[in-house]
Amino acid sequence: MKDVDGDGNYGFRTIVGLLGLGENDWVQVRHDLLLELNNHRDEYVVLHESHKRVEELTHILSYFEDSPSFDCWMTMPDMGYLIASFYNVVLYHLSLQQCLTFLPLRSPPVTLADRRAIAIGFVNGNHFVQVQVVLEADHPVPSIVVLWRVHHHPYASEWENAYVSRVQKFKDNIGPNVATREIFHVVDID
């Protein structure tokens, strides 16, 4: 694991480090993700079921200064879709509370040999870190986000094929307190 500067841009600093850029290139990631969101705004409104959430993400991504306030920090799982889709990577989000896999929404899959996977960890309830991992060819992976299955373009469908058995391996090895879905339906038991 590699820690990054905790100035409030740490989520974006984590991504640039994993992409091989300098930690101070976090502004570029904000620009890239804002471009992704704006270029495919209608799709993200449908995915998030809300114009309001897309406007909130626009607000978060539009902050280009040091030390942003809490309302401009990177949020997951929302940003996972943007990161995977803009950079055409497989993104693993890992924490004690939630583990998820994000796949690109619109691109056809690249070969396994050319596929790039990056992993971020969420620690201490408020900080992202780079997870530098060397993964075996058939390593377990967290569940693919539910909204990807619902909202990906048909020509992106094949991304999932390489991960079906690996997702099951992951589920077989985690405890019951780790969420493997990004959304939950609240049920009133009264």
Predicted TM-score of the model (pTM): 0.84
* Nearest CA among 14, 39, 13, 35 for reference residue 26: 13
Contact indicator for 95, 111 with CB cutoff of 8 Å: no
Average pLDDT of the chain to the nearest whole number = 82
| 11, pLDDT greater than 70 | yes
Q: What is the pLDDT of residue 142?
A: 86
Amino acid 49 reads E
CATH number assigned to the domain covering 10-173:
3.90.70.80
**154 token code pair:** 């048909």
Q: What is the pLDDT of residue 143?
A: 87
Q: How far apart are CA 174 and CA 114, in angstroms?
A: 28
List the domain boundaries for the chain: 10-173
* 47-64 pLDDT, tens digit each: 999 999 999 999 999 999
Give mean pLDDT, residues 72-95. Answer: 91
Contact indicator for 12, 64 with CB cutoff of 8 Å: no
